[in-house]
Structure 1
């Protein structure tokens, strides 16, 4: 059963397996929680379990769907979690935060949503988890990318003995997803810069705005994640065994923030280069227009003069008066051109 199983109906009893397309019915009744997958992670390695209350030989990991009506009530009755952590797990808020109480750690973090077989980096979902010395409980309302990856790693990896290992696996997986998006955005900026330098397919403002929008979303995710781990690192109630893991993850998140900031600087630099190029083209067009205006001004004066309906105009009675007036207009334009060139205004 994949993380991205679709829960159908309010009770959430019918889900669809992406690999087979067949309807899946959980092995528990309507009163039970919406268990998506679960593992017993003892010394023998990962062993899949079918119910939340199954007997285990070591650390257990439960992944629940909050779209299932029974998940919230099951969590609310779970005595292994402190009251504040239980309330955080079933709350409707979406801002990233952390709670440490009674040896348990509860967090709300953001991750990219998953739509069937595709990870959608344009949509951000909420992942809640509660960590105790005996178990990790993760819960989400919509399918989340990291949960699928964690499940695959647990299925083929060794067991988990310490809660810090579970935290490192989960946050490390979330960080890997964010890092992949940051790398993708960096490559998009590099391709746009190459196109700009080649001059054949200059990037559009709309394309850069799309990259900037996704990068802003990633920065907001990282800002919240940094705040969560600063809160954990400074909490005196955090179990000593988890402190080293929290510090290491905090440093990793800081490094991700630096990478995202580097991509942001690249976008700003490319945007400045594009603006400079546009300004240069505008100035060039204005320059050409100004020169043409200056060249035509004397000729316009001559044609305006000869167009007056007054007596005594030169060549009014001459048989070639129009030709002479035309030659005079061209001569004044040529004289203006030579004057501008002598003054140094004709750069090109």
Structure 2
């Protein structure tokens, strides 16, 4: 018998993953589950938190995942990429992080591994699309094949980005209307935020489009996934084209604002130049009579100041007529 001084036997328990939500999926719908180790009868979707200490250990124990796919799920870098190994597809895709207090503009990464019987998604920080996928599965979205899971995930990400594009397009149109109506007209500096957001969306969509184009060309991609990958690739490219269209619209608006600012500057410089030219002869006359030297005309005349003033005005008037005759008085 063990005594009080003997150490208690230690039973090794594998670390549990940081499971956020999970569903067993079949023709009848989605069934929430908390089981990770047991095999599912149908298709299973697991969404994991990479911030949990047990997630890395659990992923490394999954023999159905090739080593390269496991490394992709646990890697520290977040650049978008994809690989196919032994029929398992692994991807890193970008989406906006979720913020409970305000609309987040931080870009996060969602990692996925797709096998014939399971979809694993993992993230370090909360991601918008993960919540939307969960809501759709809860409300009856059916997943019968791996291609359905891939389509649901990427379509959800694309719809979120599409909503961002529509919002930014609306902001550009409102700014354009304000500019044309000259009511609270925008400035080039005021459009920097929209420009920054559009550039951010373009980089995200361009990266995802590149990922799916490479998947199309990958000879190891399961044939059953090819139509879905092609469809998603076309959708992402179309959405990226929409972003570029809004960018062109914004660029044109910025050019019009810059042109208007240049015109106003030129107008002010023109008026200043005319005023300088008109006052120059008068300034010469006043300077001449202010030299206090002998022999100045009208120095002893009672109305000398009045006559000098008339001379200065006459010089300015003559300058005005000369400039008008030469065509400078066009405005």
TM, length-normalised to structure 1? 0.89
Paired position in structure 1 for 2:315: 332
For the pair shown, which has the larger CA radius of gyration, 1 or 2? Answer: 2
1:47 to 27, 31, 56: 31
Please state how far the C-alpha of 1:319 moved relative to its aligned partner.
1.3
Q: Which runs of 5+ in 1 are unaligned?
A: 1-28
Instruction: Please list, as runs of the form range in 1=range in 2, the aligned pairs for 1:290-305 lying within 5 A after superposition.
Output: 290-305=273-288
CA contact (8 A) 1:119 1:145 kept: no
Q: Deviation per CA, 1:223-268, whole angstroms, max 9, x where unpaired?
A: 1101110110100000000000000000000100110000000111
1:111 to 95, 98, 104: 95
- CA, structure 1 residues 161+294, in 2 after alignment: closer, same or farther (shift >3 Å)? same
Paired position in structure 1 for 2:240: 257
1:79 to 63, 73, 81: 63
CA contact (8 A) 1:146 1:173 kept: yes
Moved more, 201-210 or 276-285: 201-210
Moved more, 221-230 or 29-38: 29-38
**Runs of 4+ with >6 A deviation:** none
Q: Deviation per CA, 1:112-139, whole angstroms, max 9, x where unpaired?
A: 110127552x111010000001000000
Please state how far the C-alpha of 1:204 moved relative to its aligned partner.
2.3
1:140 to 123, 137, 143: 123
Paired position in structure 1 for 2:271: 288
For 1:293 and 1:156, the matched residues in 2 are separated by: 75
CA contact (8 A) 1:185 1:215 kept: yes
- CA, structure 1 residues 30+341, in 2 after alignment: closer, same or farther (shift >3 Å)? farther
For 2:28 and 2:237, the matched residues in 1 are separated by: 35
SS in 1 for 2:98: strand
1:277 to 242, 260, 266: 260
Q: Which runs of 5+ in 2 are unaligned?
A: 1-12
Please state how far the C-alpha of 1:322 moved relative to its aligned partner.
1.1
For 2:102 and 2:30, the matched residues in 1 are separated by: 26
**Is 2:218 the counterpart of 1:223?**
no
Q: Deviation per CA, 1:37-65, whole angstroms, max 9, x where unpaired?
A: 00000122110001212453210000000
SS in 1 for 2:125: coil
Instruction: Please list, as runs of the form range in 1=range in 2, the aligned pairs for 1:116-131 lying within 5 A after superposition.
Output: 116=100, 119-120=103-104, 122-131=105-114
For 1:325 and 1:234, the matched residues in 2 are separated by: 90
1:248 to 231, 234, 240: 231
SS in 2 for 1:262: helix
TM, length-normalised to structure 2? 0.94
- CA, structure 1 residues 118+43, in 2 after alignment: closer, same or farther (shift >3 Å)? farther
CA contact (8 A) 2:17 2:52 kept: yes
Bigger proportion of residues as strand: 1
**Is 2:305 the counterpart of 1:322?**
yes
Q: Deviation per CA, 1:261-319, whole angstroms, max 9, x where unpaired?
A: 00000111000000110011011101101110111011011011111132111011111
Instruction: Please list, as runs of the form range in 1=range in 2, the aligned pairs for 1:63-78 lying within 5 A after superposition.
Output: 63-78=47-62
CA contact (8 A) 2:209 2:237 kept: yes
Instruction: Please list, as runs of the form range in 1=range in 2, the aligned pairs for 1:157-196 lying within 5 A after superposition.
Output: 157-196=140-179
For 1:303 and 1:30, the matched residues in 2 are separated by: 99
Number of aligned residues: 319
For 1:213 and 1:284, the matched residues in 2 are separated by: 32
CA contact (8 A) 1:43 1:58 kept: no
